[in-house]
């Protein structure tokens, strides 16, 4: 009877060469990215490529550490910058050797093409609370802006 192969084996063979062209030895860092940086930051960042030093090494020298290029949404770049030493440590622990020595961030939109649309509606009771909270504001443009902000905050996602 033929052995069923895990999907990971098939994917690695199909897309492995494309990732190798970007400096990734395997697709593993992409799959492990949420575990390395956390779910929240993983939604707004992703590894783009690893840049390895161009210097040739002899067979007795250890491999030089590379630079990980990460695409990150602009509002999360500062957070990733502050967490860079921890992220580097986690990546190196994941692979078991000091393969990354620095992270370079490239600001870009991640995983969301086009505009984000809200389909959820706010709870009518919460909507009433927002309306009564902003009703006393005299400036109509400020009142409308705060009303939209309040609705966005109370809307269930």
Q: pLDDT value at position 114?
A: 41
Q: pLDDT tens digits, the chain, 157 residues: what are they?
A: 567 766 555 555 555 555 555 445 555 788 889 988 888 889 999 999 888 887 665 655 556 788 999 999 988 999 999 999 999 999 999 888 888 999 999 998 886 544 444 456 777 888 888 889 999 999 988 888 888 888 888 876 4
Residue 105's pLDDT is 94
113 inside domain:
no
Could you give the CA distance from residue 72 to residue 19 in angstroms, rounded to a whole number?
19
What pLDDT, on a 0 to 100 scale, did the predictor assign at position 12?
A: 54
Residues 6+ apart with CB under 8 A from 109: 73
Specify if 28 maps to a domain: yes
Query: Do 101 and 145 lie in a common domain?
Result: no
In a domain, 118, yes or no: no
CA–CA dist 125, 61 (Å, integer): 68
Length of the chain: 157
The range of the structural domain enclosing residue 132 comes to: 124-154
108 vs 110: CA distance, rounded Å: 6
Strand 45-51: give its sheet, edge to edge. Answer: 45-51, 66-72, 100-107
Distance CA 70, CA 30 (A): 11
Whole-angstrom distance, CA of residue 56 vs CA of residue 53:
8
Prediction pTM value: 0.54
Query: Do residues 131 and 72 both lie within one domain?
Result: no
Return the DSSP state at 69.
Answer: E
Cβ-contact 29, 47 below 8 angstroms: yes
């Amino acid at each position: 009877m033929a052995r069923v192969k895990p999907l990971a084996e098939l994917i690695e063979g199909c897309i492995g060469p494309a990732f190798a062209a970007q400096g990734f030895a395997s697709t593993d860092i992409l799959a492990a990215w949420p575990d390395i940086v956390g779910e929240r930051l993983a939604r707004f960042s992703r590894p783009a490529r690893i840049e390895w030093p161009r210097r040739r090494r002899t067979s007795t020298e250890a491999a030089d550490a590379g630079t990980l290029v990460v695409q990150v949404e602009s509002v999360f770049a500062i957070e990733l910058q502050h967490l860079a030493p921890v992220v580097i440590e986690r990546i190196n622990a994941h692979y078991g050797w000091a393969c990354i020595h620095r992270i370079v961030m490239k600001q870009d939109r991640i995983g969301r093409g086009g505009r984000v649309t809200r389909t959820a509606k706010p709870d009518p009771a919460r909507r009433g609370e927002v309306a009564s909270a902003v009703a006393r504001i005299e400036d109509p443009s400020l009142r409308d802006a705060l009303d939209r902000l309040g609705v966005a905050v109370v809307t269930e996602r």
